[in-house]
Structure 1
Amino acid sequence: MAFNYELGSFMTLIEQYNCDSMNLFEILFGKAIFNFIGGTIRWICGSIWRTLLRRPKFNFREYIDGPKNTNDHFDEHGHQINNVVIGISFVVGVILLLIK
């Protein structure tokens, strides 16, 4: 889909996907922020673990989006789901530590 940055094109995008602004807000936070936080945590832990075991490391993009050139369903969706779960857990843990 080609997306042009004209005035009102954002609303056209919302109307095209038939979603309201709250749904779009949930998509942005769930897919972008929590995916990035969880992927970063997985990348740090994975890099340390693979360095200790002297195994080849994955790059950062593979932790965020999954491995390139794969037909496995888990590789397409599972990495993002894991990232979101880890990201939410991390944010909740930080909030709980700040509340104490």
Structure 2
Amino acid sequence: MKKVMSMVVVVGLGIGSANVFADRGDSENLAACTGSVEQVLGQDVRTRLYGIQHRRQGDRLRLRVFPAEGESQTLSCWVDDEGGVSLQTADGIALRAEPASDSQRVTLSE
């Protein structure tokens, strides 16, 4: 009887936590962050979600990224209320995708 009751409690908690995850828009934020990571680091990158913090200005998702080449790193993905996404390394360095054309490109040597 105790096994059945504990199983019911575990299943109930699992379903409840899945509903909370879906209600806050976290799955959409995760998809937006994953898309931004793929733009910056390439298509051959794996991501792992480590945590979500909800703030007034938006949400912060902590991701561990594993590029095909190079070392893994931890990124913070900020998703604001309007849907804007920005990526930062653990050192606070912002990551951006390459500009669409060479006319928009800015280098330090110019």
* Same fold by TM-score greater than 0.5: no
By relative contact order (CA 8 Å, sep 6+), the higher-ranking structure is 1
Question: Which structure has greater strand proportion?
Answer: 2
**TM-score category (smaller protein):** 0.3 to 0.5
Normalised by the size of structure 2, how large is the TM-score? Answer: 0.31
